[in-house]
Structure 1
Amino acid sequence: MKKRFRVLSVNISAEKGTVKKPADEARVIAGQGMKDDAHAGDWHRQVSLLAIEDIDTMRAKLPEISPGDFAENITTEGVDLPSLPVGTVLSIGDVKLEVTQIGKDCHAGCEILAKTGECVMPKRGIFARVLEGGVISSESAGSYDI
């Protein structure tokens, strides 16, 4: 059975450890990640995803938080990302992403952790490698099999 979700924002940064800026669209390269993004490369965390529902929970403490502020490449809506098993394949248009990791440790300079005392990325963010590339944009439709 297919479950559906949507992409709300596509976010890119040329430097690691910084917030990512929303882009109209992004080219996703198989085996690498998002073109011009600092986290692209031949490793298991080529693309990061976080749900807007999780960002919204942090807005009670820090109302100015926006998509990309947690350094996620893709902000989604309508999918409980950390419930997806490692190995799940997400389809977003022609792009196929394989979930490789759930959560991560915050880096030492995490501004959100410093301001609020917590960060959702360690438990709610997920990471993926790119199986098939293409172009994605905000409002792209996504799906996965359960």
Structure 2
Amino acid sequence: MTINQCSKIGRVFKISISPQKGQKKMNIPVATIRQGCGIDGDAHSESTRPLSLLPLESFAKLWHPRLQLNPGDFAENITTVGLDFSQFAVGSRLMLGNSIEIEITQIGKICHNGCIIRELAGDCIMPREGVFAKIISGGELKEGDPIRMVSSYDYA
């Protein structure tokens, strides 16, 4: 296992929260992210997967005429642009904005029964392209903030 220092840069496109699990997420322009927790006001902030991220570019892979997808519709907290999470491994660390450091703890998830996106489109991207993270250091995050990969793990 080796650690690679990288400088891949993306951006925060949208930030989304929901006060209760199972509710549709709403977009907010600014969020406070707490170390060891997640986003203030989000129901998942104190769960085992306190922060979820999904690239906006993934939305185009799931086009369907009966489906209009928006940031937060996959229950992701942060919709990103310019980052390909398939290049990351569990243990990779990202810097969001000026002070928030996160560590990827899980790649993908099992789609829940009754997933309306899977029912309409026949597929869902979150199980393959979404990532979950824990918060190493917190701070304020806003739309447009940079996201930089600070380290990644190679399991070769």
Please point out which of 117, 139, 142 is paired with 1:134: 139
| Alpha-carbon displacement from aligned partner over 1:89-108 (angstroms, at most 9, x marks no partner) | 11012111100000001111
Percent identical = 38
Alignment-derived partner of residue 122 in structure 2 = 117
The answer as to 2:8 corresponding to 1:12 is: no
Alignment-derived partner of residue 32 in structure 1 = 37
Q: Which runs of 5+ in 1 are unaligned?
A: none
One-letter code aligned to 1:76: T
Q: Which runs of 5+ in 2 are unaligned?
A: 1-5
State the distance in 2 between where 1:103 and 1:61 align. 25
- Residues 1-146 of structure 1 mapped to structure 2, 5 A cutoff: 1-41=6-46, 43=48, 45-93=49-97, 94-145=99-150
One-letter code aligned to 1:123: R
| Gap change, CA 1:19 and 1:3, over 3 Å in 2 | same
- Over the aligned positions, Cα root-mean-square deviation in angstroms equals 1.4
Q: Number of paired residues?
A: 145
One-letter code aligned to 2:93: V
Deviation (angstroms), 1:60 = 4.0
| Alpha-carbon displacement from aligned partner over 1:85-133 (angstroms, at most 9, x marks no partner) | 1111110121111000000011113111121111000001000000101
State the distance in 1 between where 2:102 and 2:21 align. 21
TM normalised by structure 1 equals 0.93
Deviation (angstroms), 1:63 = 4.5
Greater Cα shift, 9-18 or 70-79: 9-18
